[in-house]
Amino acid sequence: MTAFLAVLTRDLRLALRQSADLALVLGFFVIAASLFPFGVGPSPEILARIAPGVIWVLALLAVMLSLDRLFQQDLADGSLEQLALAPVPLSITILAKVAAHWLTTGLPLIAVAPVIGILLNLPPDGYVTLLVGLALGTPTLSLIGAVGAGLTLGARRAGLLIALLVLPLYIPILIFGVTAVDAVLTGFDARAHFLYLAAILAAAIPLAPLAAAAAVRHGVEG
Amino acid sequence: MHRFANPSRFMRVADALLPWMIALCLPLFAAGLYYGLYQSPADFQQSETVRVMYIHVPTAFLAQAAYVVMALGSASFLIWKHPLGDLIARSAAPVGAVFCFVCLVTGSLWGKPTWGTYWVWDARLTSMLILQFLFFGYLALANAFDDPARGDKPAAILAVVGIVNIPIIKFSVYFFNTLHQQSTLFGDLMGGSGDAAKSVNQPDIAAAAAEQGSALAPEMLLPLMLMFGAFSLFFLILLVLRLRGEWASVRLRALRAGFRPAPEEV
Amino acid sequence: MTALGDNRSSGRRRSPAARRKRTRLFLVLGGLVFLGAAVVLSLFALRENVNYFFGPTEVADGKVPDGAKFRIGGLVEIGSCRILGDGVTREFTVTDGAASVRVTYEGLLPSLFRDGQGVVALGRLDMQNVFIAEEVLAKHDETYMPTEAVEAMKRAGTWQEGEPDGGAKTVTGAGTTDPCKAL
């Protein structure tokens, strides 16, 4: 537990010291969202129709773009090797790093999402569902992303490769996240969608760090 | 079982079996196509389009089987460090990717005349598309490193992680009200757990057919089974051929690196 | 970072091996708790059933909110399909035996569409509770039978009414029959 907190605070401190990275991710989120009114035309109905999907897809891409921060720097300066050699199970270390990653990308994205909702004319009923869905879904995005980031350590064109590996695995989360908002906006209940998102998260918390740890260990050795 | 984990011993057995598999596969294909295209009756609902089934169903099954082979090979590579597991996984991936692609294309062509659409985002079709992406991801990851041997472990981990998709594909038609019909051949595995979709879409005819043992008429079951056998053998043949190539390239790399094989291994 | 090497906080006077075993035990237990939670949550979620479509009974029971866009699934009631005056719009009844809903659709129906066939339509209900469909798809079931066998069953009288194709006539070629009658 102490090790978990130590890694968590270390990663948080590093992320806050380099807050430009965080600003870049949020900037991408907002700017990309503001392209849509130009792309599909400023008609409020069309924007309202696509708003949940756009916000979810962009959140997903923003998380994906920030994944290189998870291990890449630590690999470059050698601290990842130290963490892998530490007596603490590597999966716990990775869980801590994922938690830090979520706190510095997922959480800010959730905070900014309502602003984008306004820009895209999301109907008022949709906000709560959108935010609950994002809160349940973005941790899973970070967890699955850690597996992808671990697998591509040292690979050629790791950025593109990570997209190919991680995006298909993101599809279920995207589906449940978006259909939850759509369901509420058309007057249905979103409970089942939330339950699925929570189930995926609960399964990913023990499994993803395991796979990521195996991948990172190999990446460090190779 | 671990005896055959030695690749050269395994390859000797596989090479010996290969001609027999080819000899069995070709007549099976011929018979399957003959029965499928000429000798089997048209369906009472779909008429002639039902014949797509004889390609679609076996390729769908084999795409998933190829993934399971890939994941099991990868798992044995990760757990027992059997090099053969990695070789099998690497050989199965492109074959599975092609089967999956054929399944998606034939399904799409079948969907247009029967359902009225080429594609619909229901759970079965989406999970099958994810399977296709997983094959692509595996192939990309396995070949993404300058040292080819570096990619084996990450790719193996990905293959094991992706196995969660297989039960999703299998059970998607039972748990969600999909447009895709439920399984004809393996439907009884699920017993009566089908939901509203079942009562809506399976009127008494299914009951009548079920009394005869299967919802598939025997005249149609025969070509389907023939094609199942033919495609399965075809898969195994391709697997062995690709294994030869992979095994040769591993040995080539070892020789280049200055490794002298023991005489009995050559 | 210092806390990483600091093991005194957990497990006093234990050998490193015993401590590692204990951590591993906690890890496995924790993992199992989460996996169990995942199973329980998905079982709850399955009970809710994220519907790809609703049946006519659910529509009649008011399960579908006003003005909502949804899919309706059911069987085409035998002899219910009409081509309306404009020659393009088709109107038919979707039923599940207990309740039924009128559906109108402007456009070409899939060739599998016929009396007694399972269909899934996307659209919304209008003020008169008529379902205005934007898309009609035929839902095929997992039953395959030769045309001749169905003819034979009909002759033998073992073919029950209300089955797909409703005993009108069996198809011999795709798209040759239109179950919809012009008004």
Burial class (CB in 10 A: 0-12, 13-18, 19+), C9: exposed
pLDDT, mean over chain C: 73
| B108-160: pLDDT as tens digits | 998 888 777 888 777 788 889 999 999 999 999 998 888 877 888 899 999 99
Pick the residue from chain B with its C-alpha nearest to C169. B44
- Binding-site annotation, residues of C for heme: 140, 144
User: Are C120 and C73 in contact, with CB atoms under 8 Å apart?
Assistant: yes
Task: Determine the Cα–Cα distance for residues A126 and A123; give it in Å rounded to an integer.
Answer: 6
Nearest to B93 by CA among B124, B56, B134: B134
Which residue of C1, C37, C50 is in closest CB contact with A202?
C37
- Which pair of tokens denotes residue A130? 């959108």
Collect all residues of chain C within an 8 Å Cβ-Cβ radius of residue B209. 143, 145
Pick the residue from chain B with its C-alpha nearest to C94. B200
Q: Alpha helix (H) ranges present in chain B? A: 7-34, 53-80, 83-115, 123-142, 152-161, 165-175, 196-201, 204-211, 218-256
Collect all residues of chain A within an 8 Å Cβ-Cβ radius of residue C5. 86-87
User: Are C103 and C120 in contact, with CB atoms under 8 Å apart?
Assistant: no
Task: Determine the Cα–Cα distance for residues A51 and A58; give it in Å rounded to an integer.
Answer: 11
Q: Tell whether B193 is within 8 A of chain C (Cβ).
A: no
Q: What is the DSSP string of A122-166?
A: --TTHHHHHHHHHHHHHHHHHHHHHHHHHHTTT-TTHHHHHHHHH
Q: What interface predicted TM-score (ipTM) does this complex get?
A: 0.80
Grouping H, G, I as helix, E, B as strand and the rest as coil, residue A43 is coil
pLDDT at B50: 81
pLDDT at C108: 77
Query: What is the nearest CA distance from B241 to chain A, expressed in angstroms?
Result: 27
pLDDT at C49: 59
User: Are C119 and C76 in contact, with CB atoms under 8 Å apart?
Assistant: yes
Mark the ranges of chain A whose per-residue pLDDT is less than 70. Answer: 222
Torsions phi, psi of C146, nearest 5? -70, 145
Q: Tell whether B196 is within 8 A of chain C (Cβ).
A: yes
| A49-64: pLDDT as tens digits | 899 999 999 999 999 9
Measure the CA angle with vertex C122, ends C121 and C124; round to 5°: 115
The answer to whether A211 contacts B144, with C-beta atoms less than 8 Å apart, is no
Q: Tell whether B209 is within 8 A of chain C (Cβ).
A: yes
Q: Where are chain C's structural domains?
A: 11-48, 56-182
* Topology of the domain covering C56-182: OB fold (Dihydrolipoamide Acetyltransferase, E2P) (2.40.50)
Which residue of C2, C32, C48 is in closest CB contact with A195?
C48
The answer to whether A151 contacts B145, with C-beta atoms less than 8 Å apart, is no
Q: Tell whether C5 is within 8 A of chain A (Cβ).
A: yes
pLDDT above 50 for B211: no
| C121-153: pLDDT as tens digits | 888 888 888 888 888 887 776 667 667 666 766
Q: Provide the chain C residues 24-43 that lie in CB contact (below 8 A) with chain B.
A: none
**CB contact set of A201 (below 8 Å; sequence gap of 6+):** A136, A137, A139, A140, A143
Task: Determine the Cα–Cα distance for residues A130 and A117; give it in Å rounded to an integer.
Answer: 9
Taking one residue from A and the other from C, the number of pairs with CB-CB distance under 8 angstroms is: 83
Query: Cα–Cα distances in Å, from C138 out to B157, B164, C29?
Result: 40, 30, 48
Buried b (16+ CB within 10 A) or exposed e, A183-220: bbbbebebebbbbbbbbbbbbbbbbbbbbbbbbbbbbb
pTM score, whole prediction: 0.78
Q: Percent of chain C having pLDDT more than 70?
A: 67
| B158-193: pLDDT as tens digits | 999 899 889 888 877 766 656 777 766 654 443 333
Q: Tell whether B44 is within 8 A of chain C (Cβ).
A: yes
pLDDT above 80 for B199: no
Task: Determine the Cα–Cα distance for residues A37 and B205; give it in Å rounded to an integer.
Answer: 52
pLDDT above 70 for B221: yes
Q: Where are chain A's structural domains?
A: 2-221
- Which pair of tokens denotes residue C18? 């015993």
Task: Determine the Cα–Cα distance for residues C72 and B240; give it in Å rounded to an integer.
Answer: 48
User: Are C136 and C89 in contact, with CB atoms under 8 Å apart?
Assistant: no
| A131-160: pLDDT as tens digits | 999 999 999 999 999 999 999 988 888 888
Which residue of C135, C142, C147 is in closest CB contact with B215?
C142
The answer to whether B115 contacts C170, with C-beta atoms less than 8 Å apart, is no
The answer to whether B126 contacts A157, with C-beta atoms less than 8 Å apart, is no
> What DSSP state is assigned to residue B197?
H
Question: Which has more pLDDT, A146 or C182?
Answer: A146
- Which of C12, C26, C34, C43 is best to mutate for the A interface (most A CBs within 10 A)? C34
- Which pair of tokens denotes residue B69? 């082979």
| HSE toward the beta carbon, residue A218, CA cutoff 13 A | 24
Collect all residues of chain C within an 8 Å Cβ-Cβ radius of residue B50. 144
Grouping H, G, I as helix, E, B as strand and the rest as coil, residue B86 is helix
Task: Determine the Cα–Cα distance for residues A81 and A221; give it in Å rounded to an integer.
Answer: 8
Buried b (16+ CB within 10 A) or exposed e, C77-106: bbebbbeeeeeeebbbbbbbeeebbbbbbe
Task: Determine the Cα–Cα distance for residues B173 and A194; give it in Å rounded to an integer.
Answer: 21
- For chain B, which chains pass the contact test of at least 3 CB pairs under 8 Å? A, C
Burial class (CB in 10 A: 0-12, 13-18, 19+), B124: buried
